[in-house]
Amino acid sequence: MRTYTVMDSPVGPLLLVGSPAGLAEIRFTPEGRIPAPEPGWTHDPEAFKDVVAQLRDYFAGERQEFSLTLDPHGTPFQREVWAALQTIPYGVTITYGELARRIGKPNAVRAVGAANGQNPLPIVIPCHRVIGSDGSLTGYGGGLPIKRALLDLERQTTGQLALL
């Protein structure tokens, strides 16, 4: 059974989706429209109080790490990539090539990029911190303006955005 709520954020409304095991998805909304839940989901804002509080703290520049129970669904490879994403420090960016090296698969840059793009928990699993080898912003599920906004927030909070 899935539960959901919608929260306002500086990057537009976010659809938060939970499972009995934890936070399962964060969905951005196209053009700021309130997202529609899937059939059978139950609206339960109370179940997301901690998630909403931590995301608000993040957007206020007061939280750099999340302490939430997560339940992302994906292949073993995707989960490996998502686990590596969680080790990228706040305010730091790395390249897709570096991410592939970190998981011990330096020739799997494209596969790493695809797994990064399938991350069901953006922001909390910080896929926005992965950039192109030339330092450019490349692909983001919420769109490049949101990726830029998240990186700008982290840069403003830390005073710099480092590239590892």
Residues tagged active-site: 127
* Residue 86: closest CA among 67, 108, 114: 67
What DSSP string runs through the chain? --EEEEE--TTS-EEEEEETTEEEEEEE-GGGPPPPPPTT-EE-GGGGHHHHHHHHHHHTT--SS----B-----HHHHHHHHHHTTSPTTEEEEHHHHHHHTT-TT-HHHHHHHHHT-SSTTTS-GGGEE-TTS-----TT-HHHHHHHHHHHHHHHSS-EE-
Residue 126, both tokens: 């910080």
